[in-house]
């Protein structure tokens, strides 16, 4: 991407915000229906510590779920490659978790687990788990047969082959799945917080959105939503940068 083209999204966003503010003022739209960008910024600075504290709570659930998804997804993917019995047992249940609506089971998880933070992490993990598992399993299974034959002829055992050959070959697949799971873990955390917030458990930005809606504090609701969007973009960009650097290093070593 050329340096000049990098500013195009920023300029476009600035034009959209200016047009939004101008239309809201020209049409005299009430703030409880659609606040302008300046009202949203003012709402944020009215309670910055409250909103930022809620953002930290949401990100704590998000990163915990992403970590559990990464570790669990890789471990189960390795198990499916190492044993046909494990593959037959794990894959159907992984698909079940992937197609199960989180909104339907989140209330049960929150009731059964008891601890609010652990329940939120579990809900977000269920949403974020499948991309890491599926992509890593595909990468492990896509190892070139010629290299597998070479390792077999060299006398390498099953676990040595997985550690020295299959896992490095699956790295691009894992990183692609991790980047998808980064956004899904945030989505899962927000959905779980909505369910928990409806039950009276105050946690994260989703609860602030519910609270603001009940009180018709729409500018504050938009401020919380903007923080969620910024967090999602930051997570995606950070994981993209991590993937680029690891793949460059992996390519040089290969």
pLDDT tens-place string over residues 58-107? 999 999 999 999 999 999 999 998 888 888 888 888 888 888 888 888 88
pLDDT value of residue 146: 83
The tens digit of pLDDT for each residue in 187-219 reads 999 998 888 876 555 678 998 998 898 888 999
Query: What does the H/E/C string look like for the chain?
Result: CCCCHHHHHHHHHHHHHHHHHHHHHHCCCCCCCCCCHHHHHHHHHHCHHHHHHHHHHHHHHHHHHHHHHHHHHHHHHHHHHHCHHHHHHHHHHHHHHHHCCHHHHHHHHHHHHCCHHHHHHHHHHHHHHHHHHHHHHHHHHCCCHHHHHHHHHCCCCHHHHHHHHHHHHHHHHHHHHHHHHHHHHHHHHHHHHHHHHHCCCCCHHHHHHHHHHHCCCHHHHHHHHHHHHHHHHHHHHHHHHHHHHHHHHHHHHC
pLDDT value of residue 32: 84
Percent of the chain surpassing pLDDT 70: 94
pLDDT value of residue 251: 61
Evaluate if residue 174 carries a pLDDT over 90. Answer: yes
Which range among 10-24, 87-101, 146-160 has the greatest average pLDDT? 10-24
Q: Is 214 exposed, middle or buried (0-12, 13-18, 19+ CB in 10 A)?
A: exposed
> Under a CB-based contact definition with an 8 Å cutoff, are residues 225 and 72 in contact?
no
**Measured between alpha carbons, how far is 31 from 53 in angstroms, rounded to an integer?**
24
pLDDT value of residue 254: 47
Average pLDDT over residues 114-129: 91
* pTM score: 0.88
pLDDT value of residue 252: 45
CATH architecture group of domain 34-253:
Orthogonal Bundle (1.10)
């Amino acid at each position: 991407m050329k340096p000049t083209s990098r500013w195009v999204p920023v300029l476009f966003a600035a034009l959209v915000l200016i047009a939004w503010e101008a239309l809201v003022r020209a049409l005299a739209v009430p703030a409880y229906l659609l606040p302008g960008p300046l009202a949203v910024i003012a709402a944020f600075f009215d309670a910055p510590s409250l909103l930022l504290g809620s953002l930290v709570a949401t990100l704590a659930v998000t990163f915990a779920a992403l970590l559990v998804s990464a570790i669990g997804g890789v471990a189960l993917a390795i198990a499916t490659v190492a044993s046909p019995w494990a593959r037959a047992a794990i894959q159907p249940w992984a698909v079940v978790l992937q197609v199960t609506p989180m909104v339907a089971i989140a209330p049960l998880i929150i009731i059964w687990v008891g601890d609010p933070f652990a329940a939120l992490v579990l809900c977000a993990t269920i949403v974020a788990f499948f991309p890491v598992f599926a992509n890593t399993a595909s990468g492990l299974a896509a190892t070139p047969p010629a290299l597998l034959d070479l390792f077999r002829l060299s006398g390498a055992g099953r676990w040595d082959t997985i550690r020295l050959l299959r896992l490095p070959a699956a790295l691009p697949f894992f990183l692609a799945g991790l980047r998808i799971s980064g956004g899904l873990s945030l989505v899962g955390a927000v959905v779980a917080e909505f369910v928990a917030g409806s039950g009276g458990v105050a946690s994260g930005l989703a609860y602030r959105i519910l609270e603001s809606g009940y009180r018709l504090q729409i500018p504050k609701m938009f401020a919380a939503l903007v923080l969620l969007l910024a967090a999602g973009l930051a997570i995606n960009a950070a994981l993209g940068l991590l993937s680029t650097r690891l793949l460059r290093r992996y390519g040089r070593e290969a």
